[in-house]
Amino acid sequence: MKIYTIIVTYNAMQRNWIDRCMESLSKSTIQTIPVLIDNGSTDGTREHIPQHYPDAVWLPQDKNLGFGQANNVGIKYALEHNADYILLLNQDAALSPDAIEKMLSASDGESLLSPLHLNGDGSALDYMFRGSIRDVSKLQDDLLVKHQLEPTYETGEICAACWFMPVALIRRIGGFNPLFFHYNEDNNYYHRMTYHQVKTILVPHASMFHDRSVVGNIQAFNHKQLRRELLLAACNINISIGGQCYQFIKLLAHCYKYDLPVRHYVPGRFLMETIWLLCHWPQIRSSRQQEKNKGLNWIQ
């Protein structure tokens, strides 16, 4: 079984992220081939990785490609080298030693798998992960009433900080949509999985540790947040034009009701971003059609 672990790095030296990440891979009960794609780090990451991890595949980029497109570079490399599975792993994440083994054992060869997402020290669930499992009532019943968890649970979308992907899934869905530079690319990917009837499976006995606070880089998350939300709705191939308009109205209502964060969610900003969306509608329309097609979309 040939498994490639794809890690996108950007200034990964803080808090010893990359060393912790790579150390967890070295301790895994199933070894994988690490593929690291750097997005133009300036903190010594580009010197540190090839020096300390010479056996890893090192693919530094001349510019910041963003999360999705950088992962596409790694996915392409793995496919060209006959991967059976691809593990997407954040630079600020670390795996428990048996996480890959347990996800591999639970795999049906078609579905996306995820471990339990814990916070950095493993003392609690990752903040954003809580939302991913809030509707999985059977998991809550098993945990609180039966005190025994099943090997797997079908769930909704889960953050791409740790995705275990059979190659068959990627050949069916493709890579990340390049319209999304950073954040929301995994939400868009989940929409496509839903359209193509691909399941997301949680393996609760596998775990990973995500060393972030809430959404990671809060400045990067807030930057153009409204644009991303509008784009996400516009690209959602599971809803009609009427459904998209409804989503836009909900976002506008959100602007008026919450006005948070102030410099992003304001009605004037909404108008500006809607104009941006209309100007880019040909690309969005083309993107929607491509997302409906099966195959290696956006894996050049």
Q: Please give the Cα distance from 92 to 44 (Å, whole number).
A: 16
CA–CA–CA angle 29, 38, 4 (5° rounding): 30
Helix (H, G, I), strand (E, B) or coil at 294: coil
Q: What is the pLDDT along the chain (300 residues), one digit of tens a residue?
A: 899 999 999 999 999 999 999 999 999 999 999 999 999 999 999 999 999 999 999 999 999 999 999 999 999 999 999 999 999 999 999 999 999 999 999 999 999 999 999 999 999 999 889 888 888 888 888 988 988 999 999 999 999 999 999 999 999 999 999 999 988 999 999 999 999 999 999 999 999 999 986 555 555 565 577 888 889 999 999 998 888 888 888 777 766 554 445 445 566 777 888 899 899 999 999 999 999 999 999 997
- The Cα 254–Cα 49 span in angstroms is 43
Tokens 């019943």 belong to: 141
Q: Are strands 93-95 and 153-155 parallel, antiparallel or unpaired?
A: unpaired
Position 7 scores a pLDDT of 98
Backbone φ and ψ of 163, nearest 5°: -115, 130
Q: In DSSP terms, which residues pair with 210 in a beta bridge?
A: 93, 119
Partner residues linked to 85 by β-bridges = 3, 166
| Cα 167 to Cα 153: distance, rounded to the nearest angstrom | 21
- DSSP assignment of 68-137, as one string? HHHHHHHHHHHHHTT-SEEEEE-TTEEE-TTHHHHHHHH--SSSEEEEEEEETTSSSB-TTHHHHHTT-H
Give pTM, 2 decimals: 0.91
CB–CB of 156/193 below 8 Å?
no
Nearest to 253 by CA among 144, 245, 127: 245
